[in-house]
């Protein structure tokens, strides 16, 4: 008897990004928040909506993301930054 292996359906990064782009949920951008690939954000200063294409860290440990905005194009933004003044 031959056993058939079940293949688990895995989504590629591109599929996940497309699904998130299709969703209607948009979050106001705040440097203190953490975002994921595919999240939709609204930048109040630029009055523009965009999709997070990529997330990562700088060499000195600052979390960053690349966002494709509808009007202003690709921009690099920081995230997870403490914005409270001491």
* Least confident interval from 1-5, 32-36, 61-65, 73-77: 1-5
Tell the residue number behind the tokens 């630029």, with chain if given: 46
Q: State both tokens at 54.
A: 């990529």
Model pLDDT for residues 33-53, shown as the tens digit of each residue? 999 999 999 999 999 999 999
Q: Is the pTM of this model over 0.75?
A: no
Would you list the domain boundaries of the chain? 33-86
Nearest to 31 by CA among 72, 75, 67, 63: 63
Nearest to 67 by CA among 86, 51, 80: 51
Q: How confident is the model at residue 83 (pLDDT cuts 50, 70, 90)?
A: confident
- pLDDT recorded at residue 62: 93
Rg (CA), the chain: 17
Q: Catalogue the E-assigned strands of the chain.
A: 27-28, 40-43, 48-57, 63-69, 73-78
């Amino acid at each position: 008897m031959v056993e058939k292996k079940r293949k688990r359906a895995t989504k590629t990064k591109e599929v996940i990004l497309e699904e998130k782009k299709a969703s209607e949920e948009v979050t106001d951008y705040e440097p203190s928040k953490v975002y994921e690939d595919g999240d939709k954000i609204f930048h109040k200063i630029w009055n523009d909506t965009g999709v997070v294409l990529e997330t990562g860290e700088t060499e000195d440990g600052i979390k960053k993301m690349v966002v494709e905005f509808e009007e202003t194009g690709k921009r690099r933004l920081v995230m997870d930054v403490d914005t409270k003044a001491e």
